[in-house]
Chain A
Amino acid sequence: MERKTKIDAAEGRQDLVITREFDLPLDLLFRAYAEPEIIEQWMGTKVLKLENKQHGGYQFETSDGKGNIVFRANGAIHEFVPEKKITRTFEMENALFGIQLEFLEFESLSEDTSKLIMQIVYRSAKHREEQLKLPFSYGINMAHDRLEEVLGKLK
């Protein structure tokens, strides 16, 4: 079976290109990125702020069962063209790999299918490696693991 999500991580470069085709029409795919209550559902995180516009910004936060914050990320939105593209920065707080620049491009493939091309640019190839080295198993756990590691060092 063809892999639905493709990650192109050419060596020696400082970016990643993540491509994914969805069994969803373009408008639905885009809404998954544009509406806070939908983002909360699929990212499993709280949306504290989301201003989807030029010079806008966002902030996400995830807490564990005890109310401890395990993940917090924020960024600035530079471009927001409905059903076409979002250009934004992404910063995971307390992480070592720094601020990333994300280019999200949305394309319609047919009435019921669409495609997302996401280019993530890191500050350096080394920063990209740092992120790829994370011992994550899935989703938000990666932030959790990272945080534990960072906090573990502070003890």
Chain B
Amino acid sequence: MNLRRDVFQAIADPTRRAILLLVAAQSMTAGAIAANFDTARPTVSKHLQILTECELLQQEQNGREIYYHFNAKKMKAVADFIEPFRKMWDDRFNKLEDVMKKYKSKK
């Protein structure tokens, strides 16, 4: 069950990514979200449950309805994960640029 709370596990599924895109635009009820997919309603509910468990989605009670909100803060974890890798390439390419600039001026 722990795996389910992993953000990366959650967004590895294309349907769940589509749900996130929908909800990022506006908060929606489970019914409204399900209406966008061909899959059975319980399948969509399962996806919503996983997204909620890993906190990418948050539920909010509004009268009788439960609205799903997108949690951008949690999504940032994904970006942060990539960041050191980007930095490594950045450093390496900066060095390439420096070396080649010296090379050019030597000519």
Please tell me if A38 contacts chain B, counting CB pairs below 8 Å. Answer: yes
Give the docked Cα–Cα distance between A56 and B78 (Å).
Answer: 37
Q: Name the segment of B26-34, B59-67, B83-91 touching the other chain.
A: B83-91
Please tell me if A23 contacts chain B, counting CB pairs below 8 Å. Answer: yes
Please tell me if B76 contacts chain A, counting CB pairs below 8 Å. Answer: no
Interface residues of B: mostly helix, strand, loop or mixed?
A: helix
Give the docked Cα–Cα distance between A99 and B31 (Å).
Answer: 45
Counting chain A residues whose Cβ lies within 8 A of the other chain, the interface size class is: 20 to 34
**B15 CB to nearest chain A CB (Å):** 11
Contact code string A1-32 (vs B, CB < 8 Å = 1, else 0): 00111110101100000101011100011011
Which residue in B86, B88, B101 is a CB contact (below 8 Å) of A142? Answer: B88
> Chain A: which residue is nearest B17 at the CB level?
A11
Which residue in A20, A23, A129, A136 is a CB contact (below 8 Å) of B88? Answer: A136
> Chain A: which residue is nearest B98 at the CB level?
A42
**A38 in contact with B82 given A20-B89, A125-B12 (CB within 8 Å):** no
Interface residues contributed by chain B, number (CB under 8 Å)? 29
Known: A28-B103, A42-B92, A139-B91. 20 other contacts (CB 8 A): A4-B90, A5-B86, A7-B89, A11-B11, A12-B11, A12-B12, A12-B17, A20-B93, A22-B100, A23-B101, A28-B100, A42-B100, A43-B92, A116-B93, A132-B85, A137-B88, A138-B88, A138-B91, A139-B88, A139-B95
